[in-house]
Amino acid sequence: MEQQTDGRSNLEYRRKRVKRIKRFLIVSLVVLLLVPNILCAVLLVQVHEINQTLGETEEKLWELSVQMEDANAAAVVEQVLSPVQVLDDDIKAVIPDAQMYEGKKMVYLTFDDGPSTYTNEILDILKEYDVKATFFVLAKDGYEAEYQRILDEGHTLALHSYTHQYSQIYESPEAFRQDINLLSDYLYEITGYRCEFYRFPGGSSNGIIQFDKDECFDVLEEEGLVYFDWNVTSKDASSYRLSATAITNNVLSGVGQTNASVVLMHDASDKYTTVQALPGIIETLQADENTIFLPITDGTTPVCHVVRSDENQE
């Protein structure tokens, strides 16, 4: 009996052992099969991450190289441009307004005979509406700040007359030249700016000149000056004082007839209605977005009532 019992327990013990070995083998097999797969998966993830980093690095390198190229190009451009910057400015300056503002209605407000007690008020109005204009001035002591303000605020300071005495200015070519030079030097001493534009007292068509008018044009050419008359007038120089409404109507109807208006107005101590009319004129014209106010510059086509006689014949 005891032998039988021993044999059975021995057999059971073996069975259990075989079972354990089988389990061990199965687990080992499963582990052996799984580990490479898990490793593969981990490696794949790592490869993917490395790939991503590489892509980002490549992008950064590309951006850096583009930035370096731009920096190099800018440096080269700067090197090439700096010696000819003056030339470049010249080229810009001669682009005609008509081309620069093609399709726009151009209005050049011009104020003669200032500065006066109203100059600052006119400048305030122009500033308020962001309008640039041109001032054909006289020589008047005590208005140094006004001459400077005209320039500082982006308007054009231009020559009209030192004395505004017709009989004196138009007596001879020498007197004509002297009047211009006295004013030009006077303004240069105050502002350090040499004026480029001129307006004949009485306009170029005036009948007061007592010598061949061509000599005036010679003087202007020799002094490097370009003269401007006007093609729209506010008529504020009439012997009687025009109302602000009349001045406004004159300007608006004149401007309505041309695409480049050089508007004659006056900045004189007896012309208060001009100051009163100015905001309304500007507001009405600015209501049309196509209208642009410009100061007279090298790009402005001169409006001339009279030109040199030989040019007339051409």
Q: Which residues bind Zn ion (CB under 5 A)?
A: 112-113, 201
Cβ proximity to Zn ion: between 198 and 217 the closer is 198
CB contact at 8 A, 251 and 281: yes
Cβ proximity to Zn ion: between 113 and 179 the closer is 113
Cβ proximity to Zn ion: between 168 and 284 the closer is 168
Say how many C-beta atoms besides its own lie within 10 A of residue 291's C-beta: 17
Residue 27 identity (one-letter amino acid): V
H-only helix segments in the chain = 2-81, 85-93, 97-100, 119-128, 144-152, 166-169, 173-191, 213-222, 244-255, 272-286, 309-313
Cβ proximity to Zn ion: between 97 and 112 the closer is 112
Cβ proximity to Zn ion: between 137 and 285 the closer is 137
For the CB of residue 276, give the shortest distance to Zn ion in the complex, in Å: 20
Element (H, E) at 244: helix 244-255
For the CB of residue 263, give the shortest distance to Zn ion in the complex, in Å: 15
Is residue 262 classed as helix, strand or coil in its secondary structure? strand
Q: Which residues pair with 138 in a beta bridge?
A: 161
For the CB of residue 98, give the shortest distance to Zn ion in the complex, in Å: 27
Question: What's the CA gap between 237 and 136, in Å, rounded?
Answer: 14
Q: What are phi and psi of 292, to 5 degrees?
A: -130, 135
CB contact at 8 A, 136 and 110: yes
Cβ proximity to Zn ion: between 129 and 166 the closer is 166
Alpha-carbon Rg for the chain, nearest whole angstrom, is 43
DSSP secondary structure of 198-267: E--TT-TT-S---S-HHHHHHHHHHTT-EE---SEE--TTSSSPPPHHHHHHHHHHHHTT-SEEEEEEE-
For the CB of residue 110, give the shortest distance to Zn ion in the complex, in Å: 11
Cβ proximity to Zn ion: between 274 and 285 the closer is 274
For the CB of residue 90, give the shortest distance to Zn ion in the complex, in Å: 31
For the CB of residue 140, give the shortest distance to Zn ion in the complex, in Å: 13
For the CB of residue 152, give the shortest distance to Zn ion in the complex, in Å: 24
